[in-house]
Amino acid sequence: MTTGRFAPTPSGMLHVGNLRTALLAWLAARSSDNGRGRFRLRIDDLDPAARDREVARRQLNDLATLGIDHDGAIEYQSERFDRYDAAIGQLGGAGLTYPCWCSRAEVQAASMAPHEDGWPEGAYPGTCADLDTAGRNRRAAETGRPPALRLRAGGVTSTIDDAVHGRFTGIVDDFVLRRADGVAAYNLAVVVDDDDAGVDQVVRGDDLLASTPRQAHLARLLGVTVPRYVHVPLVTGLGGERLAKRGGATTLGELEALGVTPPQVLAHLGRSLGMDPGDETSLAVDLLTKFDLTRLPRSPWSVNPTDWAV
Ligand code: GLU
């Protein structure tokens, strides 16, 4: 049975681009398996700076307003550190981790050229990979910092299947599993979370495509299912700029203040996903029979949601 999910980071209110991804993820899941597909919600609050329960509550409220319902309990990454530790322990036990003292600036300076030969942007060049005990002690003393923990991936290639982008291959660098501050890295958490929730269909923005071969590789190492992926082109402003969570009228609340109702927002989102929403759309479920993933536009959606107020 298909299980999809949406996993917002509570760093600000959801803008129409986030809402569109959520709607698409919900439609893709709920339209699967003759309407029996499941849909989970998760709050990606790994980062202490984005651990805001009030923002999360308001995000969830906006999803509910659009009729994006869910199965099971809502998971919070901030409550799942023991699960991440277990996965890191499994990898460590297999000799696949090593400590790294490099600062962000050092990694950037030494990083592999982006997009060259399939390396993801900011790929780690392996500076700390082969330190012996003396070398590790020296780095620890030099930096005075606790180390991050990296995966020993050895530059393998990893291929994923994506409903929008087709087969996508990337080289897996020795990416971070646990940050120096002790917080699990997103690439690790997302694999553990999706597997624990039984998620096998991941719909999200294509800004995350470049990191997906890393996650698929990790899933294979941990012996868990690699989900099917749908990486959707981002929503941009009319000038091609990325929609920000702050600034401009792009959230449900801001649009409502301009007189644009949630059903009208839903109709615009539906149209942007290749559907003819008609006049009767008030909740996500009203779009379900009209949904066809193969009609999803393949290019970014440029929009100024303020124009919806007439
Ligand atoms: N939490 C991420 C975001 O808000 C999405 C992660 C994912 O879908 O895997 O951009």
Q: What distances in angstroms separate CA 16 from CA 87, 102, 224, one per listed residue?
A: 34, 37, 33
Ligand 1, residues at Cβ distance < 6 Å: 7-9, 44, 190, 204, 208
By C-alpha distance, which of 151, 186, 161 is closest to 42?
186
Q: Is the dihedral of CA 52, 58, 61, 62 positive or negative?
A: negative
> Considering just the CA atoms, what is the radius of gyration of the chain in Å?
21
β-pair type (38-43, 75-76): parallel
CA of 260 to the centre of ligand 1 (A): 26
β-pair type (3-6, 38-43): parallel
By C-alpha distance, which of 244, 262, 242, 243 is closest to 252?
262
Q: What is the pTM of this model?
A: 0.94
Q: Choose the residue to mutate in 190, 231, 242 for probing ligand 1, maximizing ligand atoms within 8 Å of C-beta.
A: 190
Rounded Cα–Cα distance for residues 251 and 59 (Å): 10
User: For the residues of 13-56, what is the DSSP string, one character each?
Assistant: --BHHHHHHHHHHHHHHHTSGGGT-EEEEEE---SGGG--HHHH
Point out the ligand 1 atom lying closest to the alpha carbon of residue 21.
Answer: 8
The hierarchical CATH code for the domain 81-232 is 3.40.50.620
According to the model, what pLDDT value does residue 106 have? Answer: 86
Write the CB contacts of 47 (distance below 8 Å, at least 6 apart in sequence): 9, 183
CA of 9 to the centre of ligand 1 (A): 6
CA of 244 to the centre of ligand 1 (A): 15
pLDDT averaged over 10-residue windows placed end to end, the chain, 310 residues: 97 94 98 95 95 97 98 98 98 98 87 67 89 96 96 95 95 96 97 98 95 97 98 88 70 95 97 92 95 92 90
Sheet harboring 176-178: ordered strands across? 97-100, 148-151, 176-178
Cβ–Cβ < 8 Å for 256, 19: no
CA of 133 to the centre of ligand 1 (A): 37
According to the model, what pLDDT value does residue 62 have? Answer: 98
According to the model, what pLDDT value does residue 11 have? Answer: 93
- Element (DSSP H or E) covering residue 159: strand 157-162
Write the single-letter amino acid at 109. A
Q: What distances in angstroms separate CA 246 from CA 12, 186, 249, 265, one per listed residue?
A: 7, 23, 9, 18
- CATH T-level fold of 3-79+235-309: Rossmann fold (3.40.50)
Burial class (CB in 10 A: 0-12, 13-18, 19+), 40: buried
Point out the ligand 1 atom lying closest to the alpha carbon of residue 6.
Answer: 8
113 CB neighbour count, 10 Å cutoff: 9
Location of each CATH 3.40.50.620 domain in the chain? 3-79+235-309, 81-232
CA of 44 to the centre of ligand 1 (A): 7
According to the model, what pLDDT value does residue 104 have? Answer: 86
Phi, psi of 154 (to 5 degrees): 65, 25
Write the single-letter amino acid at 69. D
Angle formed at CA 230 by CA 226 and CA 235, multiple of 5 degrees: 140
Taking each helix axis from N to C end, the angle separating 81-93 and 186-196, rounded to the nearest 10 degrees, works out to 110
CA of 139 to the centre of ligand 1 (A): 33
In a 3-state reduction of DSSP, which class is residue 293? helix
Point out the ligand 1 atom lying closest to the alpha carbon of residue 5.
Answer: 8
CA of 230 to the centre of ligand 1 (A): 13
Q: Choose the residue to mutate in 207, 208, 215 for probing ligand 1, maximizing ligand atoms within 8 Å of C-beta.
A: 208
Q: What is the DSSP letter of 71?
A: S
